[in-house]
Amino acid sequence: MPTLSEVARHAGVTPATVSNVLRNRGRVGATTRQRVLDAVEALGYRPHLAARALAEGRAPTLALMVSSIANPFYPEFALAVERAARTSGHFVIICNTNEDPLTGRAYLDQIAGTLSEGVLVTNANLDFVDLRATEARGTPVVLCMWERPAEPPGLPCVAVDFRLAGELAGQHLLELGHRRMGAIVGSKASGIHAARYEGFVDALRAAGVTKNRVRHAVDTIHGGYVAARAMLEADPQLTAIFSTNDLPALGAMHAAADLGLRVPDDLSVIGITDIELARESRPALTTVAVPTVEVAGLAVELLRELIESSYGQAGRGARDEPIPVPMRISSEPKLVVRASTAAPRPPAHTPSRSPSC
């Protein structure tokens, strides 16, 4: 492949002039400009992205760290990120950490600041120490789905009010008349879904419902299946299950089916996120939709601003007054009512406790 220098020689100009022409920078006369473009065409020169990136001290890709590419939410989110990134000519490197902070660190060490000029992080279970180290090396980091807008993480982020999402789910079930409910939390008690569950419990308390069953589960269809099945076997009188994510909610519907319960007649199920499978399941899943595409757009926009402003180098760790850590808040999650929720069936005649015999 011909080099920039060869193009310059062929056109009888300096490499800097070639670069200016290709990047529409500097002042170059029309004749010289045409000579350069002719040389580019004659030699079949293609601007070398990596070389250009190096020359400018930056790389033209964004890295998207995801915790599990096999979880269908992440491809949907990656698609939205990619579309947003392509509008500024960025390519997206998807780095899949498989929930492993060490793999995440390896990606950050190898990719961030070399092949990519910025890092987008979904809930990838990454160590904040590693993320701050990446930032300190001059590569901006944006957390894409911070779950608690009221408690900023100390890193640039896009926040979604996930506590509200849980509250909306709880209110929906209450309005339908449910009082005996179970919750499947797709993380550890103190984990990333804690805010969602808090919102759910807040809604119940506000309505005077002070008790509900809860199980913590793996954030998959199968995880939800196992948790729902155990919960329904322990308490057959549950009339509704709230899940902090759509995948376990889908598993809860499978568990109901296997136990001979009809959704929504015998059991209502509601999730959070609104992944494509929520729309495509039978019955279609009622859920609280998160503005995924909007969040992707905000995250890419914020990351680009940080890259442009050299936030990483100048802001953090400098001795001057600290630059405030930016946080963008998405629009609010919204209830999407589909076919998996309904009013609870009126209780069957309860057998009398005092036998007549």
Footprint on this chain of a copy of itself (rule: CB under 8 A)? 1, 46, 48-51, 53-54, 59-61, 69-70, 72, 74-76, 78-79, 82, 91-96, 107, 109-111, 113-115, 137-138, 221-222, 250-251, 253-254, 257-258, 276-277, 280, 282
Who contacts 236 (Cβ-Cβ below 8 Å, separation ≥6)?
A: none
Could you tell me if 228 and 251 are in contact, meaning their C-beta atoms sit under 8 angstroms apart? yes
Question: How near is the Cβ of 49 to a copy of itself at its closest, in Å?
Answer: 5
Q: What span, in angstroms and rounded, lies between the C-alpha atoms of 50 and 76?
A: 28
Alpha helices in the chain (DSSP H): 4-11, 15-23, 30-43, 49-55, 73-86, 101-111, 128-136, 162-176, 194-206, 221-234, 246-258, 276-280, 292-308, 311-314
Q: Which helix (H) or strand (E) holds 8?
A: helix 4-11
Question: How near is the Cβ of 70 to a copy of itself at its closest, in Å?
Answer: 6
Q: Which of helix, strand or coil describes residue 289?
A: strand
Structure tokens, 245 = 């994510």
Question: How near is the Cβ of 203 to a copy of itself at its closest, in Å?
Answer: 29
Question: How near is the Cβ of 40 to a copy of itself at its closest, in Å?
Answer: 14
Residue listed under structure tokens 């002719």: 38
Question: How near is the Cβ of 137 to a copy of itself at its closest, in Å?
Answer: 6
Could you tell me if 141 and 134 are in contact, meaning their C-beta atoms sit under 8 angstroms apart? yes
Could you tell me if 125 and 93 are in contact, meaning their C-beta atoms sit under 8 angstroms apart? no
Q: Which is nearer to a copy of itself, 100 or 305 (CB)?
A: 100
Q: Which of helix, strand or coil describes residue 101?
A: helix
Q: Which is nearer to a copy of itself, 109 or 294 (CB)?
A: 109
Q: Which is nearer to a copy of itself, 221 or 342 (CB)?
A: 221
Question: How near is the Cβ of 284 to a copy of itself at its closest, in Å?
Answer: 10
Q: What span, in angstroms and rounded, lies between the C-alpha atoms of 333 and 82?
A: 22
Q: Which is nearer to a copy of itself, 109 or 266 (CB)?
A: 109
Q: Which is nearer to a copy of itself, 21 or 64 (CB)?
A: 64
Question: How near is the Cβ of 231 to a copy of itself at its closest, in Å?
Answer: 18
Question: How near is the Cβ of 263 to a copy of itself at its closest, in Å?
Answer: 11
Q: Which is nearer to a copy of itself, 184 or 203 (CB)?
A: 184
Who contacts 20 (Cβ-Cβ below 8 Å, separation ≥6)?
A: 26, 27, 28
DSSP secondary structure code for residue 245 in this structure: S
Question: How near is the Cβ of 350 to a copy of itself at its closest, in Å?
Answer: 31
Residue listed under structure tokens 């909610």: 249
Q: Which is nearer to a copy of itself, 60 or 153 (CB)?
A: 60
Q: Which is nearer to a copy of itself, 117 or 147 (CB)?
A: 117
Q: Which of helix, strand or coil describes residue 117?
A: strand
293: left (phi over 0), alpha (psi -120 to 50) or beta: alpha
Q: Which is nearer to a copy of itself, 5 or 151 (CB)?
A: 5
Q: What span, in angstroms and rounded, lies between the C-alpha atoms of 283 and 239?
A: 16
